[in-house]
């Protein structure tokens, strides 16, 4: 148990970089940057491969399972093929997700590793945290453990507008008033 805590603490320190400095990542995979060849070099051939069309582009999806994934992970799915400003890149990671085993990524582990989320809510009855850096974490219904972590290129979340129906936050309670100073006691003779 102590070893697991040490690993989690080290992971948290390793990943505790300023949010704006880089995209969210895991296991050396950076969406929009890491290539198919780099993934193969790091993780070997996938358990399965699927070719598909996404928005009229030919893409590839790799799934790693069983002994082909890191300990503590049930499945890792990597989708290749991303449209960049200079054209479609079929060999770059577009998005990938990991499905950890229960007890691997607790809420506090996620916050220690990636910081506070940009938004949080509910996705089909499952608590969810969203990071603008490109991470979406879905938890089990009890919000104990992450059931999936999905990594994308950074995503700007919409900001509430002035005409938004989102209520303004409640004002903070007034600070208590300091107690009146006690009058000074006259100094008496010392025994």
Residue 157: predicted pLDDT: 77
What is the value of pTM for the model shown? Answer: 0.70
- How much of the chain is in helix, strand and coil states, percent to nearest 5? 20, 35, 45
Is 90 exceeded by the pLDDT of residue 174?
Answer: no
The mean-pLDDT minimum among 16-20, 35-39, 87-91, 181-185 falls in 16-20
Q: What is the mean pLDDT of the chain?
A: 78
**Mean pLDDT value across residues 140-154:** 94
Give backbone dihedrals phi and psi of 177, rounded to 5 degrees, phi first. Answer: -75, 140
Q: CB neighbours of 135 closer than 8 A, spacing ≥ 6? A: 24, 114, 129, 149, 150, 151, 152
61 against 183, higher pLDDT:
61
Tokens (6 digits) for 178: 């300091």
Residue 16: predicted pLDDT: 37
Strands 119-123 and 87-100: unpaired
What are 48-69's pLDDT values in tens digits?
A: 999 999 899 999 999 999 989 8
Residue 160: predicted pLDDT: 61
Is 60 exceeded by the pLDDT of residue 138?
Answer: yes
Any idea where the domains of the chain sit in the sequence?
Answer: 2-151
């Amino acid at each position: 148990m102590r070893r697991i805590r040490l690993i989690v603490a080290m992971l948290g320190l390793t990943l505790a970089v300023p949010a704006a400095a880089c995209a969210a990542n895991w296991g050396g995979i950076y969406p929009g940057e890491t290539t198919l060849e780099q993934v193969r070099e790091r993780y070997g051939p996938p358990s399965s491969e699927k070719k598909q069309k996404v928005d009229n582009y030919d893409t590839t999806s790799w799934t790693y399972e069983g002994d082909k994934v890191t300990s503590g992970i049930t499945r890792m799915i990597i989708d290749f093929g991303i449209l960049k400003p200079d054209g479609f890149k079929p060999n770059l990671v577009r998005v990938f997700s990991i499905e950890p085993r229960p007890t691997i990524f607790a809420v506090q582990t996620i916050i220690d590793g990636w910081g506070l989320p940009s938004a949080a809510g509910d996705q089909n009855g499952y608590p969810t945290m969203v990071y603008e850096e490109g991470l979406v974490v879905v938890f089990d219904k009890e919000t104990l453990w992450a059931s999936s972590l999905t990594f994308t290129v950074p995503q700007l979340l919409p900001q509430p507008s002035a005409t938004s129906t989102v209520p303004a936050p409640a004002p903070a309670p007034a600070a208590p008033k300091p107690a009146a100073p006690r009058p000074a006691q006259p100094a008496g003779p010392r025994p």
